[in-house]
Structure 1
């Protein structure tokens, strides 16, 4: 993914990912609370089939709505080409990552107070815990990511073997997760933070083999775990048939999920545009993001299984409802998201112009390993001269400009081995050539080694002959 496009759209990503998710949560909660108070809901026993009234507590409603805020945009991301449609891809990817982070933190905050009765102070307690949990979870991941980069910068002996580099990155990541859970923070958010930090700093301290090996290893693990979760969901779906079910809740909550998602993305951006905000995103792209974000997936499924009967007496209904919505949205919306891809891409006007002021190299010059090699592939803007860098940051906001300057002049020199902007550019170019023409380079290296060996042998032979004479 293009990091330049990602940061160019960071405002839209944060609006949709943070404020959009919070808006979705408020819409879900308000409508579900109204539905709960109407007396319309009923439940059926999975064992006897008897029907009985269904009434949730306020905390149960908030708990269910918080986990339903998490989206799964994997299907949409797989349909969008990051090279031909970098803006739409960065919006989908960025909003999906931020949405998952906010949803997980929101769920953990609500879960912390789920066993307590709802009072006037409960919303403020949830907001305070939400902010604290987000801050410390991200901080732990950031610290461990920097420690990993500094370790590989100093201990260069570990960069001689790609296996060692993979193990070190895995160990630092796992340690960050353990520390976060030990202090009752969000381990998943910490893993997200440490991964972003490692991609930004640790990446340059790896050997070329380590870069390729770590990218392939963790992409394989991610794809395997994603497949395992959905396989497990499909195999265990009918294991919950003895739970209490509420068809009315499932049907109405399904509609609420669709309505809330469109309010949190399309509605929120258009409302801000009425207030003179310029998003630069076409309404068709916003519609595609909203449509793709209706899908509920692995995050919602994993979170709902954490709920105990102590937290929610109606756990059976919550679990059966969430799992059914996950299955329906994944099958239904996941099947049709591909049909909207070309329609949304054409609205952005990116397909006709692959290059954008030299932000991207030509497609035929890019290795087919590029997405596997480095998901956050460096662009030329990250390696430009200081004068051009200073000229570009003038157009940024104050906080963004301070971060880029601190990153370039302080953090990277501290945590990147033999840091220089020109060296990083050369390393990226060399690694791209190596990934593209590795076999040819091996032949060249062998020929050079043979030539050096022959030269050394001839030199030694001539020295021996001169001594004999």
Structure 2
């Protein structure tokens, strides 16, 4: 009798809750409508996430079609950006604008903590060791000194053009920040064509290695200029250069140190023996983020740190993993990097379409992005000529500057 009584009581409670829920739904229609108009978290959030996933699926399908058809004039990054622009343009003229805008507003924490680290780590992790280290001197020179020269030349030209009212006038520090943003190259299409044609491995290593390192260099330059802009007492140029060198080489040392610690740990801990493959893979995945957050905690650049952690871990740590863990971690980092990179370009395109844009500075766009940026890269090839690089490679590097 007692079990039956408890079952009846449970049934009665469930029925009462159901009736109360129905009554609240019927009587609270106005409140529900008000919540939806006020940007209801449930519906708006679900719709925003569904839209993001749909655009990711569309971007990967389109990228596959572009590869299969060998369409080189539309890079995969540009295709993802175009999808974001189209969907964002449609959302900006539809009723879904208010409910989706807050899901695509740029969040600095999301970008720097979750999207950028996998991309930068995979860039360092996927470097071919022999061609990269055999051309390491030229790559470092082009990436560090070359990016610095391009930043200074581009920023100075934009500042001088502003003084004579040729372009929009900005303070010198902001011009240098702009120069840092546009000084880095990203030759995605060129590298894919190199793979198709089977070009020289040294030329591929020069282009790929320089494009990987100058991303970290440009971000570090931009952050240094941004801190100079907010701190008016640090206007001494020598202090700025010293701070930048301290930040860059401190971050590089942190990344290399964490990479070597991981190599020693996996070499002597014998995690690949027995049924510890899961623990081995988890530790390997955690180390890059440990390097990133350690550098950020010391006030250094986590981007530079995680880049060199990827280079060191691929060369020294990866060989200490078991075969199953090697296959899993390599596929996982490639997966995370592809997802993050595609989402970043979709994110950018959607946000550009949703925001109001001003097209009143066409002269600034032409002179700064086209003329001044190419002039800065020309100075790189003219000034940095101490390394014995074949003239064919120099000619190729000059034209690769157009694909960025």
Q: Could you tell me the TM-score, scaled by structure 2's length?
A: 0.63
Q: State the 1:4 CA deviation.
A: 2.5
Number of equivalent positions: 275
Residues 244, 117 of structure 1: alpha-carbon distance in 2 compared, 3 angstrom cutoff? farther
| Structure 1 unaligned regions, length at least 5 | 42-53, 297-469
Stretches of structure 2 that go unaligned for 5 or more consecutive residues are 1-126
Aligned residue for 1:86? 201
Q: Deviations over 1:404-440 (max 9, x none)?
A: xxxxxxxxxxxxxxxxxxxxxxxxxxxxxxxxxxxxx
Deviations along 1:17-68, one digit per CA (max 9) or x if unpaired, are 1221122112102211111111233xxxxxxxxxxxx431111111111121
Q: Contact 2:129 / 2:315 at 8 angstroms: preserved in 1?
A: no
Bigger share in helix: 2
Higher relative contact order (CA 8 A, sep 6+): 2
Q: CA deviation at 1:244?
A: 7.5
What are the residue-to-residue correspondences of 1:343-354 with 2, within 5 Å? none
How far off its partner does 1:158 sit?
5.3
Contact 2:271 2:279 in 1 (8 A): no
Instruction: Please say if residues 173 and 191 of structure 1, whose CA atoms lie closer than 8 Å, have aligned partners that are also in contact.
Output: yes
Residue in structure 2 matching 1:59, options 173, 180, 183: 173
Contact 1:162 1:213 in 2 (8 A): no
Query: How far apart are 1:140 and its partner, in Å?
Result: 1.4
1:279 aligned to which of 383, 388, 393 = 388
User: Which deviates more from structure 2 when the two are superposed, residues 79-88 or residues 32-41?
Assistant: 79-88
Q: Deviations over 1:53-98 (max 9, x none)?
A: x431111111111121122122222221396521111111111122
Distance 1:163 1:253 in 2: 50
What does residue range 229-308 of structure 1 map to in structure 2 within 5 Å? 229-242=344-357, 245-254=360-369, 255-264=371-380, 266-269=381-384, 272=385, 277=386, 279-282=388-391, 284-296=392-404
Provide the C-alpha distance between the structure 2 equivalents of 1:158 and 1:3, rounded to a whole number of angstroms. Answer: 24
CA contact (8 A) 1:133 1:186 kept: yes
Aligned residue among 140, 156, 165 for 1:14: 140
Contact 1:257–1:294 at 8 Å: present in 2 too? no
Deviations 1:120-157 (A, max 9, x none): x5321210111100121111111211222222223223
Deviation at 1:117, TM superposition (A): 4.2
Q: State whether residues 159 and 171 of structure 2, in contact with CA within 8 Å, keep that contact through their aligned partners in structure 1.
A: no
The answer (yes or no) to whether the contact 1:144–1:194 under 8 Å persists in 2 is yes
RMSD across aligned C-alpha pairs, in angstroms?
Answer: 2.3
- For residues 343-402 of structure 1, the C-alpha deviation after alignment (integer angstroms, 9 at most, x for no partner) is xxxxxxxxxxxxxxxxxxxxxxxxxxxxxxxxxxxxxxxxxxxxxxxxxxxxxxxxxxxx
Q: Spell out the pairing of 1:406-425 with structure 2 (5 A cutoff).
A: none
Structure-2 residue corresponding to 1:208: 323
Partners of 1:96 and 1:216 in 2: CA distance = 22
Report if the CA contact (8 A) 1:165-1:214 is conserved. Answer: no
In the superposition, the TM-score normalised over structure 1's length comes to 0.55
Partner of 2:289: 174
Stretches (4+) displaced over 4 A: 158-162, 242-245
